[in-house]
Structure 1
């Protein structure tokens, strides 16, 4: 098992990005290791799935892994809090890579990215922009911009933008921030409200119970700051610019957060010649966060995929 985790603060936009570095067993600082940047889901934090599940497993396999909190979230800086802005979230990846390339034990020619759920959409854009990324894996990847135009806005993005504008005006005049929790407080509360969607129910089971709850995982949006998502699309121009090797991992159980549909779309559209689609049978979106059998099946392909494209062990 991973023997050491180091917490670091990385210089970002005008604040620090908090990150945990996971080291391989018997780590030797005189050697060079391929590295993987691991990004958390929307409204999550580095302690949830990106770090404690995928970060740990990849480090155990021989990679240096860095799991980070997005700007405005978790232990990272940035005000106001709970902002989910695609420009900042995409840019965070390059700041994290800037830090990696200064570390003498990181092979800067072999850096990959793994990202989960909404983090995967930001990772797609970051991979297209930052050519230091040599391979990308998405786990139950989603496209938060698409979801904002769909269910997150009740299929009324223009109405949502009008409400955001009104809220920003109110806050500029002294009103309190509006922080909206994306999830019901419990599975039972969701069921009592008539929720039947598997993704919403399982999200509550993950984030609102000891199974996955973490202090930095707020599952919240700052409403007045979410307008940019309505115009953003994670898959914009992937047919041209997403050329690095790509592994898309999804479950075969569809849900409201659409990772199955969106993962298939990404796989079909990406320009990557070395692209793979792994469908984990019997797995839902949230099974791929932490359930041992589905994540084990994912890692059976994720680890050799990065091993091949990031030249693990030379």
Structure 2
């Protein structure tokens, strides 16, 4: 264990899910700790905000925290690479929990989930069906399926599905896969292309510079494997199945990734009897990834939220 972190392989479908486990100060393996699974954004990895910001902070607050790379991404297995499949991404949570409940220092009755951006949509889907998850916190949560039908497909999901079908046929006949980067290569390139949206510009600043860049954070979609997202919705039947306590953290600056709108929708629709909406004033989507003021304010709500529900 280095710096209170250890990396373990978690058995998934047919490959390992790379997971960083963060330990609280003074960790004692003979004791039992409430535990939080931390999930990264779409196209990100565990080395970024889910681990180095929120994972670290929650561990310092007394939790064991498991930050994992999604299947097909980062250091996790799965081929082809850069696949963003909602079925696999949702099931990753349960595989990580399967591993955690075998650890003697994990309180199997007090496991929560914290997820950021697109990872939060998958966390919602996982929390609906895995009752071992006792509390859910989302930070600038998004619903990638909804975005796929909207801006990601240029509001033409059927046209996108036709193009994906053609790409799958081409790959089956020996042509190369198409891996699309979701972002411009640099702020300068974005500005030259006329990009003005705050989310796209700040995402580029986070993922394409030393601010947040990490080897596993590819910010890419495998186009030929993108179809499942077009027919998926993270919020499907949350009025029935999302009953666990819920804390939704958003900023008040709207952008193209719609976390403000989608976070308020989740808060309003969830069946959770104990739920809270936290709006961090003056914060954008990416401020809540790593900026000390906004992330600190988010944690001021998340830490007592988990403290209340993971006793």
Instruction: Say whether residues 1:162 and 2:162 are aligned partners.
Output: yes
Q: Which residue is 2:69 aligned to?
A: 69
Instruction: Say whether residues 1:211 and 2:195 are aligned partners.
Output: no
In 1: Cα distance, 2:114 partner to 2:17 partner? 18
Structure 2 portions without partners, runs of 5+: none
Instruction: Say whether residues 1:222 and 2:227 are aligned partners.
Output: no
Q: Secondary structure of the residue that 2:59 maps to in structure 1?
A: helix
Structure 1 segment 20-39 matched on structure 2, within 5 A: 20-39=20-39
Q: Which residue is 2:249 aligned to?
A: 249
Instruction: Check whether the contact 1:121–1:143 (CA below 8 A) recurs between aligned residues.
Output: yes
Structure 1 portions without partners, runs of 5+: none
Instruction: Check whether the contact 1:3–1:25 (CA below 8 A) recurs between aligned residues.
Output: no
Q: Secondary structure of the residue that 1:164 maps to in structure 2?
A: helix
What TM-score comes out, normalization by structure 1 length? 0.98
Residue 188 of structure 1 and its aligned partner are, at CA, apart by 1.1
Residue 187 of structure 1 and its aligned partner are, at CA, apart by 1.0
Residue 3 of structure 1 and its aligned partner are, at CA, apart by 4.0
Moved over 2 A (4+): none
Instruction: Check whether the contact 1:251–1:260 (CA below 8 A) recurs between aligned residues.
Output: yes
Q: Secondary structure of the residue that 2:87 maps to in structure 1?
A: helix
Instruction: Check whether the contact 1:249–1:278 (CA below 8 A) recurs between aligned residues.
Output: yes
Q: Which residue is 1:187 aligned to?
A: 187
Q: Which residue is 1:176 aligned to?
A: 176
Structure 1 segment 1-314 matched on structure 2, within 5 A: 3-311=3-311
In 1: Cα distance, 2:211 partner to 2:109 partner? 37
In 1: Cα distance, 2:73 partner to 2:29 partner? 30
Greater shift, 185-194 or 237-246, is seen at 185-194
RMSD over equivalenced CA pairs, Å: 0.7
Instruction: Check whether the contact 1:43–1:221 (CA below 8 A) recurs between aligned residues.
Output: yes
What TM-score comes out, normalization by structure 2 length? 0.99
Q: Secondary structure of the residue that 2:254 maps to in structure 1?
A: coil
Length, aligned pairs only: 310
